């Protein structure tokens, strides 16, 4: 059972409130004209700004954790560092904040895929936060945030209808490379590692189940990315006008 007064609860609360404060501050920044004209795009823009900030901090932080504690690459269950532990708590706070933001803003239905992802991510982080197990696995999972830096740039440019800019065209190739290096490769490595727990009634088998579900989601997102950026549809159907929420 989770201790009701576990110190990590204060860390999670602090991280969540930090992202809430960050969102309020970012909302004061000027908006592109095309974004400002649509309330839905405005909300998504602010949501992505917070995500962008989280990706930069967490992505660099995860790389530093692996550099400082390289045993996390092989001792995924037992390797531990204070920096890695704080990173996992920090990112869990972001997922809590983003979940609340999506629900409170009335975008739960349109962004249900993000909600499912966040719930699974928080479920995976519980072992590291409350039992100090698989902290290394949590850090390796957060290497994906390096990829998310470029993915978020792509999504923000799409919201602003800036797909014809040279920056978008360059970023889509950089994003593809980063997707392989920091999303597909770490996910495949972690899945291989946790396959050792097949048939065992342990925390590792629970985490494997989450990983396999995330694998499916990541492959779906990857197919959407390729279709959208490299095999675009000739005409966007009216019923998918808000597709930028998830793509």
Q: What DSSP letter does each residue of 38-79 carry, written as one string?
A: -HHHHHHHHHHHHHHHHHHHHHHHHHHHHHH-GGGGT-TTT-
User: What is the tens place of the pLDDT at every residue in 1-46?
Assistant: 455 668 899 999 999 999 999 999 999 999 999 999 999 999 999 9
User: What is the tens place of the pLDDT at every residue in 133-157?
Assistant: 899 999 999 999 999 999 999 999 9
Predicted pLDDT at 245: 58
Does 244 have pLDDT greater than 70?
no
Query: In angstroms, rounded to a whole number, what is the distance separating the alpha carbons of residues 54 and 215?
Result: 22
Q: Kindly state the average pLDDT of the residues 88-113.
A: 96
Asked if residues 145 and 62 have their Cβ atoms less than 8 Å apart, the reply is yes
The answer to whether residue 237 is domain-embedded is no
Does 237 have pLDDT greater than 80?
no
Does 235 have pLDDT greater than 60?
no
Residue among 107, 114, 106 at smallest CA distance from 51 = 114
The answer to whether residue 246 is domain-embedded is no
The answer to whether residue 239 is domain-embedded is no
Query: In angstroms, rounded to a whole number, what is the distance separating the alpha carbons of residues 152 and 188?
Result: 22
The answer to whether residue 100 is domain-embedded is yes
The answer to whether residue 2 is domain-embedded is no
The answer to whether residue 5 is domain-embedded is no
Query: In angstroms, rounded to a whole number, what is the distance separating the alpha carbons of residues 29 and 39?
Result: 15
Predicted pLDDT at 200: 67
Query: In angstroms, rounded to a whole number, what is the distance separating the alpha carbons of residues 35 and 116?
Result: 26
Predicted pLDDT at 238: 44
Lowest mean pLDDT among 26-40, 52-66, 104-118, 220-234: 220-234
Q: Kindly state the average pLDDT of the residues 43-72.
A: 98
| Structural domain total, the chain | 1
Query: In angstroms, rounded to a whole number, what is the distance separating the alpha carbons of residues 242 and 247?
Result: 9
Residue 138 belongs to domain spanning: 15-25+35-228
The answer to whether residue 88 is domain-embedded is yes
């Amino acid at each position: 059972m989770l201790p009701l007064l576990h110190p990590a609860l204060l860390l999670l609360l602090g991280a969540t409130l930090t992202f809430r404060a960050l969102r309020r501050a970012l909302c004061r920044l000027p908006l592109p004209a095309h974004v400002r004209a649509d309330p839905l795009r405005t909300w998504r823009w602010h949501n992505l700004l917070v995500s962008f900030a989280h990706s930069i901090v967490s992505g660099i932080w995860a790389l530093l954790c692996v550099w400082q504690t390289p045993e996390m690459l092989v001792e995924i269950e037992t390797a531990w560092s204070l920096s890695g532990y704080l990173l996992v708590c920090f990112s869990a706070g972001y997922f809590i904040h983003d979940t609340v933001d999506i629900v409170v803003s009335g975008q739960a239905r349109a962004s249900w895929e993000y909600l499912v992802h966040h719930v699974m991510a928080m479920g995976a982080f519980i072992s590291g936060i409350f039992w100090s197990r698989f902290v290394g696995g949590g850090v390796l999972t957060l290497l994906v945030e390096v990829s998310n830096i470029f993915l978020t740039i792509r999504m923000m440019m799409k919201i602003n209808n800036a797909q014809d800019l040279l920056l978008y065209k360059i970023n889509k190739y950089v994003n593809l490379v980063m997707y392989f290096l920091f999303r597909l490769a770490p996910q495949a490595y972690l899945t291989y590692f946790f396959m050792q727990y097949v048939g065992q009634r342990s925390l590792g088998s629970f985490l494997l189940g989450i990983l396999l579900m995330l694998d499916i989601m990541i492959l779906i997102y990857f197919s959407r990315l390729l279709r959208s950026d490299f095999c675009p549809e000739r005409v966007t159907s009216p019923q998918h006008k808000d597709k930028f929420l998830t793509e």
